[in-house]
Amino acid sequence: MLTLTLLWLVLAGTAVCLDRTQAVQLMVSRPVVIGPLFGFWAGEPMLGAAVGVALEFLYAGRLPVGSHVPPSDTLAAVGAAGLLVAVPELRTLGGAGLATAVALPLAELGRDVDILVRKANGRIAGRVDDMLREGDLTHIEKAPWLALLFAAGVYAAVLALFFVVAGTLLARVTLSGWLATAFGFFLAGLPLLGLAESSATLDLRRFPRAAVLGLMVGMGLLVVFA
């Protein structure tokens, strides 16, 4: 893996991770955006899209409501799609499935990272509290930037470690035969699993008319395009 590629991957990954909660929130942090974009970067947009679609569906029902911290589908998407960029050997359907399977734990790790960042923010907020009490407003405006810098540092460290370890290991793996087929089916079936999961979590079954209408539109699209 080229050092420069790794550096760009970590920088791009960190930027989209910040978009998830801390800054701007244009939702470039969604897997359905990250997957195709990183796929274009790897020269395989459809494979990137397959990864993005799978992860988008899998975590669509996990919402950041109140103080609840959901798994980080962003970190998992950056990890999986980033591996397609970093390891050319993974640019097959089976390889993309393997990359997704390897990156999935990043979603849970990402939740822990988000909690860690929020706890660190608590310390910064405490310092702001002290400044307000002391009547010193000179450094207050630095607080959000300090929090951003810390979060960026943590995301960058996690991503760098992941790409170095997983990238190095997966570059040595030759996926063929039934394993490649199995990982291909895994990736292709993941959106179905995700749709079932988000349908249960978002309570999609409460709107049967919309579901039936949507199903008919989907069938129509299938007839026209497939």
- Identified binder of other proteins from the candidate list 11, 25, 88, 169, rule CB under 8 A: 25
When the beta carbons of 137 and 157 are compared against other proteins, the nearer one is 137
135 lies in the site for other proteins, by CB under 8 A? yes
Interface with other proteins, residue 48, by CB under 8 A = yes
Distance between CA atoms of 113 and 24, rounded to whole angstroms? 19
Q: Indicate the residue type of 122.
A: G
Shortest spacing between CB 220 and other proteins, in angstroms? 9
- Does 2 engage in binding with other proteins (CB under 8 A)? no
Minimum CB–partner distance for residue 8 and other proteins (Å): 19
- How many helices and strands in the chain, by DSSP H and E? 8, 0
- Residue 35's alpha-carbon distances to 9, 150, 217, in angstroms, are 13, 26, 25
Nearer to other proteins (CB atom), residue 9 or residue 34: 34
Work out which of 140, 157, 161, 165 binds other proteins, going by CB under 8 A. Answer: 140
> In this structure, what token pair is assigned to residue 33?
């955006």
43 touches other proteins by CB under 8 A: no
**Do you know the residue count of the chain?**
226
Q: Greatest CA span in the chain, whole angstroms?
A: 69
Over the window 53 to 82, marking each residue x when it contacts other proteins by CB under 8 A and - when it does not, the resulting string is x--xxxxxxxxxxxx---x-----------
Binding of other proteins at residue 112 (CB under 8 A)? Answer: no
Q: Which two tokens stand for residue 71?
A: 């798994």
Nearest Cα neighbor of 148 from 3, 21, 26 is 21
